[in-house]
Amino acid sequence: MNSDSLFALHREWEVLPLGEACRLGGGNVQTGPFGSQLHAADYVPEGIPSVMPQNIGDNKILASGIARITHADAERLSRYRLQEGDIVYSRRGNVERRALVRSNEDGWLCGTGCLRIRFGDGIVYPKYAAHYLGHPSVREWVVRHAHGATMPNLNTTILSELPFVLPPWNIQTWIGDVIEAYDKRIDINCRINQTLETMAQAIFKSWFVDFDPVKAKLAAIREGRDSLRAAMSAISGKSDTQLETLSSEQYEQLAATAVLFPDEMVESAWGEIPRGWGRQRVGNVLELAYGKALKSTERKSGTVPVYGSGGITGYHNTPLIQHGSIIVGRKGTVGSLYWEDEPFFPIDTTYFVRPVAAPLTFCYYALQTLGLEKMNTDAAVPGLNRENVYRLEVLLPDSVTLQKFDQLVLALRKAIRANVDSNKALANLRDTLLPKLLSGELSTEALSKPVGAT
C-alpha cells in the first residue's frame, strides 16, 4: 500500500502508511489504557513510571513529577508497557509532540491519554522514525488531521495513515544517528542554560533573601576575623585559602562587590534587614502593563514571538514591545513568568514589566519569590489582579548593589541567550537535513555531526 510522500524523493524509496511500516516489523500503533483500567487512586509514590501527555517533551520523556503505579498494576497492564525504540504521542492537546523511548525507560507504562508506536524488528530504525516524525512538515500533517476544533484529538487510525518514507536500513541509521547528534548538542545547551539560570537564582537568594554576605561580615566581626574577606568568601563560595589563588584583578573585583554589603542588621516591621535597605511595594518598583489582543487569524508570518500566559503561542511579523522584558501570566496560567531578550508581542492574557525603581533582572527574580501563581482572583477563568500584586512588598537594596547584581546576572543571561540562538541555528539546520537527504540534494556521505556532539 503506497501513500503520497510529504517530501520530494530522488529514489524509488517506499512510501507507505506508518501503520503498515509497523506491521512489517511485527509492531503496531496502540492506545494506552483507558481511565476505566487505571484510576487516580491507583497511583503510588514509588513504582513503575506511567508516561502521561504532560511527560512528553520534544523527542524525550520528561520524568520530573511523573506518576507511578504498582508492580502488580504494571503486570495487569503489561500490554501497555513500553519498550526501548517505541515512540509515544499525546492523544489530546499538543498532539505533534512525540518522545522516543530510551533504554532507561524500557518497561515504563504508556499511560492514559497517550498513544504508542512500535516498529518491531529490522524494518524501521527508531531514531530515524523519531526524527522523521519530528520534522515540521510531518508535525503539521499530524495537527491538520487531528480531530477537534477546540482541542485536537489523535487516534490510532490517524497515526497509522501518516505517510512514512522507508529508505534502506543503512540510510535510516545514517539519518537517525546524525540528526540525533544535533539533538544532543541542543540538549547540552539546554542543560547549560538550566545551570546558568540556577546560578542567577542562587545569587539573588544569597544576596537579597538569606543576606549571606551581610551575615558573613557580622560573624567575622564577632570572631575577630576580617569581615571583608568573610563577605568575599560568602559571595564567591571560595575558602579563605582559595581567595589567595585569585588573580589581582579577580580579587579586586570581588572585594569591590563585598564592600557594597553593610556589616549591620537593623530591626524593621518585617524582621531584621541589612542597614540601608528598605521594603517597597511592588507598585513602586515596577509596572505591570497590559498586553494586547492578537487573534491567530490576524497574525502574519514573521519571527516575532507572540506570548500568552502559557508561553510562546506563535509568531508575528510586528512586535508590540520593541525591546526585551518580562512576561507575566494574567489569565489562564496565572503568575507564569517568562524572560524575553528580543522584541515580542504579549497578548491580552498577559502583562509585561516596565521597570521603575530596579533593573529588569532584579524585577524578574523578585517576582519569582512572590507566589503569583497562587493569586487567582477569578473562580471561572483564573486571573491575576495587578493591583493585588502592587500591594505586595519586596526588599530593595541600595542602587549601587542593584547595579552590581544587574551586571553579574546580565552576563549570565547573555550566555543563556547565546545558547538559545545556537539552538535555533542547530534546529534549523537539523530540520533542513531530512528533506535534502530524501530528495538527493545531500548525500549521506556528506553528513557530519555538529561541533561538540558525540
Size of the chain, expressed as the number of residues it contains: 454
Residue 52's SS3 state is: coil
Predicted pLDDT of residue 451? 47
14-166 shares its CATH topology with 281-396: yes
Predicted pLDDT of residue 437? 87
* pLDDT by 10-residue block (mean), the chain, 454 residues: 76 91 97 89 95 94 94 96 97 91 97 95 96 94 84 91 94 91 94 97 97 97 96 95 95 96 92 95 98 92 94 94 97 95 97 98 98 83 91 96 97 97 94 88 64 50
Which of the 8 DSSP states describes residue 8? -
Q: Is 122 left (phi over 0), alpha (psi -120 to 50) or beta?
A: left
Predicted pLDDT of residue 413? 97
Predicted pLDDT of residue 152? 82
**Torsion angle of C-alpha atoms 383, 386, 390, 391, degrees rounded to 10:** -50
Q: Name the residue type at position 202.
A: A
Give me the residue spans of the domains in the chain: 14-166, 281-396
| CATH 3.40.50.970, applies to 281-396 | no
Please, are residues 15 and 165 in contact by the beta-carbon 8 Å criterion? yes
Please, are residues 394 and 280 in contact by the beta-carbon 8 Å criterion? yes
Report how far Cα 424 is from the mean position of its chain's Cα atoms.
14
What is the CATH number assigned to the segment(s) 14-166? 3.90.220.20
Residue that is written with C-alpha cell 535510516 in the block: 172
**Torsion angle of C-alpha atoms 170, 174, 177, 183, degrees rounded to 10:** -140
Predicted pLDDT of residue 449? 53
CA 322, 324, 330, 332 torsion: positive or negative? positive
Predicted pLDDT of residue 447? 57
Predicted pLDDT of residue 379? 64
